[in-house]
Amino acid sequence: MNLCYDRMASPLGEILIVARDAGLAGLHFIDQKHFPKDASAWTLRTDHPLLQKARAQLEEYFAGRRRDFDLALAPQGTPFQQQVWKLLREIPYGTTTTYGALAAKLGQPTASRAVGAANGRNPIGIIVPCHRVIGSAGALTGYAGGLERKQTLLALEGGQAGLL
């Protein structure tokens, strides 16, 4: 199956939700950094069950009624990126962690820049919560959707309530 997508209005701007047979493949703000170059080949599908489920869960999240997502995920990336994205899904709602802490969890304490690069290439933002990763001094750093969106997402979740 080729990738299919649906559009969604959100408090942070228009989002494209993307799926493949195996699961959700992307969630992208239309003006974000690293927007997929192959998006013109995607097929618009407003009736796709996974895209409808993702939309409903995102609407609940933005309304403050959902903390965790229950969706089949199928992001494509390198083995290292996959490891980082798996760790991102373990960061609890309302908490933050640092690039260095993630690198240490991977057993590679000097790989914080590589973790940051993988975090920046996360194709399923919000659902795979890369916005919960901050700089070692607590600064908001890097977010493909823009730092204002990152700040808004953290505020929605209760700010930087706890640093892992």
Torsion angles phi and psi, residue 93, rounded to 5: -50, 135
Dihedral, CA of residue 46, residue 19, residue 54 and residue 13, to nearest 10: -80
The reply to whether 130 belongs to the active site is yes
Contact 136, 100 (CB under 8 A): yes
Q: Which is the catalytic residue, given 16, 51, 130, 144?
A: 130
- Residues in the chain, total: 164
Torsion angles phi and psi, residue 114, rounded to 5: -65, -40
With H, G, I as helix, E, B as strand and everything else as coil, classify residue 107: coil
DSSP state letter for 92: P
Contact 137, 89 (CB under 8 A): no
Helix residue ranges per DSSP H, the chain: 49-62, 79-88, 99-105, 112-120, 147-156
The residues carrying an active-site annotation are 130
